[in-house]
Structure 1
Amino acid sequence: MNAPTKADVLSTQELQALDSAHYLHPFTDHGDLASRGARVIVKAEGVYVWDSEGHKIFDAMSGLWCVNAGYGRKELADAAYAQMMKLPFYNSFFQTTNEPAVRLAAKLASLAPEVGGRSFRHVFFSSSGSESNDTNVRMVRRYWDLLGQPERKVIISRHNAYHGSTVAGASLGGMSGMHAQGDLPIPDIVHIEQPHYHVHAAAGESPEDFGKRAARWLEEKILAVGPERVAAFIGEPVQGAGGVIIPPASYWPEIQRIVDQYGILLISDEVICAFGRLGHWFAYEKFGMRPDLVTFAKAVTSGYVPLGGVMVGDRVAQVLIDKGGEFNHGYTYSGHPVACAVALANLELMEQEGMVERVRTELGPVLEEKFEDLQHHPLVGVAETCGLVAGLTLVKRKQGLVPFDEADGAGMICRKHCFDNGLIMRAVGDRMIIAPPLCMSLAQVDELVALIRHCLDATLTELRDKGLLA
């Protein structure tokens, strides 16, 4: 097939053929995709997307955890157009800056609350969460070098964490499938177990006791590595791609005590959790964390334009500024004027519509109440929410939370029923997760939960028909 021109109107089948012939997708089995054809998304509005066959789909994943303000916001398109016409690009190298980047850095500093005497007045811009976490590795190690402790190189993370897919980001993450490709992790990145209560708690152990015990896995690792070699601990406040793993309330305060005791840096990876997803501008405020570095991306522009960065706390920033000289790190698109202009418009829009407060006081509590009702479904062992992220675990038997065998593919069966019934809901093993746009109405919360229940019923029927349930 010849390359299409701008005037060509392509059918779904033609687009799928071109896709298979030329487009290598992220995290995809391309042989499998070629056999079935990619779903072609052609337009979007609010919380819905439409495919090339005209199907309307409730996007309960906000694209990829990012379209917080919803689709079709003219304000963001107008901001991009205006900035493109004025200054479409200039770099931030060579003692140069641009107005949108400066304004956005100041705006982000104003939104990031001071906690426990720690404040954020500086921002380093990137284009993605992966680049931002690569920046964290460079920045953390540079910080300790400047303090005369170059042996502090080890960064501790968690199994089943996700911190990006670049070499450093994938190493920081704890995804075994990613580590199996490319000889990862790179040296001096080590992992501890995740604080997943329903998997790792002892019989009869309370969430509070488990949270403290899980946090102390960090202390054990610090002592095993040697405190003099440990540079930082990185964690998502709520693990997203790992399945919406919500730690007990006692976990992060105990983590904070440990990093303070051993003098190591704390990195809060908020690529998913920031900008209202959990009912706060930044999630560290919700969990009582006092991080030194905060990773952000995704929802800073509601996904309209790629942008990421690191909020750099004063403790780190002042060392880099006062002692560091030239920091030999950066990206062509650091502080891209169009991306920064869109981010400013997005944050202004979210403030005007009170999105963050509405998640905390209205949408989040309503979603929590309705997920408690889903807990009674015969397939659901655990259903839990935190702001506007939520997850439910499919189980073979509710008594004792007996899981399905991996070969049963219960999660993928459920995901297919979701797609077939106009719902995008992600499967992480047998954990079904959502992160819907923050612009939802209460009626759309009802619609979303009704769709989930319908798909659970269809999954239950299929599993019974296949003999996988009694």
Structure 2
Amino acid sequence: MTLETLPNDVLDRWDREAFMHPSTHLAQHARGESASRIVSGGEGVYIQDRDGNRLLDAFAGLYCVNVGYGRQEIVEAIADQARELAYYHAYAGHGTEASITLAKMVLDRAPDHMSKVYFGLSGSDANETNIKLVWYYNNILGRPRKKKIISRWRGYHGSGLMTGSLTGLQLFHAKFDLPLKNVIHTQMPYYYRRADTAMDEAAFVADCAAKLEALIEQEGADTIAAFIGEPALGTGGLVPPPAGYWDAIQPILEKHDILLIADEVVTGFGRLGSMFGSTHYAMRPDLITIAKGLTSAYAPLSGSIISERVWQVLEQGTDENGPIGHGWTYSAHPIGAAAGIANLKLVDEMSLPANAATTGSYLKETLQDAIGDHPHVGEVRGEGLLCAVELVEDRANRSFFDPAKKVGMAVVAKMLEQGVIARAMPEGDIIGLAPPLCLSKGEADQIVEVLRRSVLDVVDTA
């Protein structure tokens, strides 16, 4: 019996007996009390499972299959690289044509002041790299106390030890003894969830800036090394920053000589309608984290893009101390790099950032027209092809549903029954949409109609 002919019930049993899934209720899954889906194929914005269901993936896997499924150009690039050279390490000055070429392609698209690219495998390990580089940077400059990292509540930066600490969602802290020391959190730039509903957007931005200043004063600027933030919040609720937010935050960081890490794992390579979120919001980061859209997840690959300012200090460090003591076995893996080259070529050829801008605007406007006035819809928001619908029990006084009702999860389940995959975001009843950047307006219409019907089916009885 081959895998191709293996009955689904056997695979399902093996799945529950042998496979530990990430971000899953482990006990329910092992007991067979929760759904199991075995995905077997995909094309464009659709996936297919082994039961023959064709589903519009309105979350691009995990915001990552930007070019869409089934792109043979990337498949062939991976196969060609595997035949020519499946692996060689990048230590001690070694490289491959693919890794060197991809580094150049990334820098050609990044903000002008960026200098080098270090490649890893996941957004989590890229952020681990960034924190190590920040600490190294301050040690070389003779500032051993300047080590704390400021993150934001509801920010998502990974699920490792340090990166899980940076993440500002309790799910990733509870029972893991996180956050670790040297990580502190400040106010999230989430206007809809502001504590004082009387605040206008400008006042809220000023409050975010004031709270950051107060935190720096409390901790001591000489102890704070960096501030990390997604240009637009991803897993924390798909929240674009309020107008003027980054313009208010960056001068504070510059004043106190605090490095800025832009986590662009979600926003990099077109999702907001610009190649990078940093350029979209006129940010000037010292380090940029990249992953998902780098290869559209056709192969694992991440990166840390390092500014000229930081790079000069890293060079100084190796002149003083010898080779830098950091690296992964699979850093700059040639198969991942080959996938990245083919992927970025497609991003350009298909004009995906421009399509994300136009189709994303259409998706948000159509959602607003279809459901924005519903009494249980608190907000429809988005930027590019990053969009969310936040559900509330009472729109007038902005009261939220009891989390035990799991309203958001029920809406997403109802959407799945109708052939569309969305995501219930954590810590709220938030329906998240982040489809492939090749989404058409007709496919956007399908998402909107299914979401509209599902919300009406669920929330009026919640």
TM-score interval, smaller chain: over 0.9
Secondary structure at the aligned position of 2:93 is classed as: coil
Please name the residue that 2:37 is paired with: 39
Secondary structure at the aligned position of 2:91 is classed as: coil
In structure 2, C-alpha distance between the alignment counterparts of 1:330 and 1:182, rounded to whole Å: 25
Equivalences for residues 46-445 of structure 1 within 5 A:
46-114=44-112, 119-324=113-318, 325-360=322-357, 362-373=358-369, 374-428=371-425, 429-445=428-444
In structure 2, C-alpha distance between the alignment counterparts of 1:399 and 1:160, rounded to whole Å: 24
1:455 is displaced (CA, Å) by 1.3
1:237-290 Cα distance to aligned partner (Å, 9 max, x none): 111111112220111111101101111100000100111000111101111211
1:353-380 Cα distance to aligned partner (Å, 9 max, x none): 11112222x2122122112212123431
Out of 243-252 and 277-286, give the one that drifted further: 243-252
- C-alpha root-mean-square deviation of aligned residues, in Å? 1.3
Mapped contact 2:111–2:278 kept (Cα < 8 A) = no
Secondary structure at the aligned position of 2:5 is classed as: coil
Structure 1, unpaired ranges of 5+: none
Mapped contact 1:91–1:334 kept (Cα < 8 A) = yes
In structure 1, C-alpha distance between the alignment counterparts of 2:206 and 2:287, rounded to whole Å: 23
In structure 2, C-alpha distance between the alignment counterparts of 1:192 and 1:124, rounded to whole Å: 28
Mapped contact 2:253–2:260 kept (Cα < 8 A) = yes
Secondary structure at the aligned position of 1:88 is classed as: coil
Letter in 1 for 2:410: I
1:201 is displaced (CA, Å) by 4.7
1:77 is displaced (CA, Å) by 0.1
1:190-210 Cα distance to aligned partner (Å, 9 max, x none): 111211111115232111221
1:7 is displaced (CA, Å) by 5.2
1:443 is displaced (CA, Å) by 1.1
In structure 1, C-alpha distance between the alignment counterparts of 2:266 and 2:27, rounded to whole Å: 30
Which of 13, 18, 23 does residue 22 from structure 1 map onto? 18
In structure 2, C-alpha distance between the alignment counterparts of 1:125 and 1:84, rounded to whole Å: 18
Mapped contact 1:212–1:250 kept (Cα < 8 A) = no
In structure 1, C-alpha distance between the alignment counterparts of 2:4 and 2:250, rounded to whole Å: 57
Out of 74-83 and 393-402, give the one that drifted further: 393-402
1:11 is displaced (CA, Å) by 2.2
1:88 is displaced (CA, Å) by 0.7
Structure 2, unpaired ranges of 5+: none
In structure 1, C-alpha distance between the alignment counterparts of 2:200 and 2:50, rounded to whole Å: 49
Mapped contact 1:371–1:385 kept (Cα < 8 A) = no
Secondary structure at the aligned position of 1:182 is classed as: coil
1:315 is displaced (CA, Å) by 0.6
Secondary structure at the aligned position of 1:246 is classed as: coil
User: Does 2:456 align with 1:457?
Assistant: yes
In structure 1, C-alpha distance between the alignment counterparts of 2:329 and 2:430, rounded to whole Å: 38
TM-score relative to the length of structure 1? 0.94
1:83-131 Cα distance to aligned partner (Å, 9 max, x none): 11111100001321111111111111110122xxxx1120011000000
In structure 2, C-alpha distance between the alignment counterparts of 1:53 and 1:173, rounded to whole Å: 36
In structure 2, C-alpha distance between the alignment counterparts of 1:38 and 1:211, rounded to whole Å: 43
Secondary structure at the aligned position of 2:226 is classed as: strand
In structure 1, C-alpha distance between the alignment counterparts of 2:35 and 2:417, rounded to whole Å: 15
Secondary structure at the aligned position of 1:321 is classed as: helix
Mapped contact 1:269–1:296 kept (Cα < 8 A) = yes
In structure 1, C-alpha distance between the alignment counterparts of 2:15 and 2:206, rounded to whole Å: 48
1:322 is displaced (CA, Å) by 2.8
1:141-177 Cα distance to aligned partner (Å, 9 max, x none): 0000001111111001011211111111101111212
Letter in 1 for 2:362: V
Give % identity: 37
In structure 1, C-alpha distance between the alignment counterparts of 2:34 and 2:409, rounded to whole Å: 15
Letter in 2 for 1:252: W
In structure 1, C-alpha distance between the alignment counterparts of 2:138 and 2:290, rounded to whole Å: 23
Secondary structure at the aligned position of 1:384 is classed as: strand
Out of 76-85 and 315-324, give the one that drifted further: 315-324
Letter in 1 for 2:91: F
Secondary structure at the aligned position of 1:288 is classed as: coil
Mapped contact 2:360–2:383 kept (Cα < 8 A) = yes
In structure 1, C-alpha distance between the alignment counterparts of 2:269 and 2:458, rounded to whole Å: 34
Mapped contact 1:394–1:411 kept (Cα < 8 A) = yes
1:415-435 Cα distance to aligned partner (Å, 9 max, x none): 211121111111123011110
Q: Cα distance 1:7–1:416, how it changes in 2: closer, same or farther (>3 A)? A: closer
In structure 1, C-alpha distance between the alignment counterparts of 2:51 and 2:215, rounded to whole Å: 52
Mapped contact 1:367–1:385 kept (Cα < 8 A) = no
In structure 2, C-alpha distance between the alignment counterparts of 1:166 and 1:368, rounded to whole Å: 33
4+ residue stretches of structure 1 with deviation over 3 A?
5-8
Secondary structure at the aligned position of 1:305 is classed as: coil
Mapped contact 1:129–1:271 kept (Cα < 8 A) = yes
1:210-238 Cα distance to aligned partner (Å, 9 max, x none): 12211332211111110111000001111
In structure 1, C-alpha distance between the alignment counterparts of 2:303 and 2:2, rounded to whole Å: 34
Letter in 2 for 1:438: L
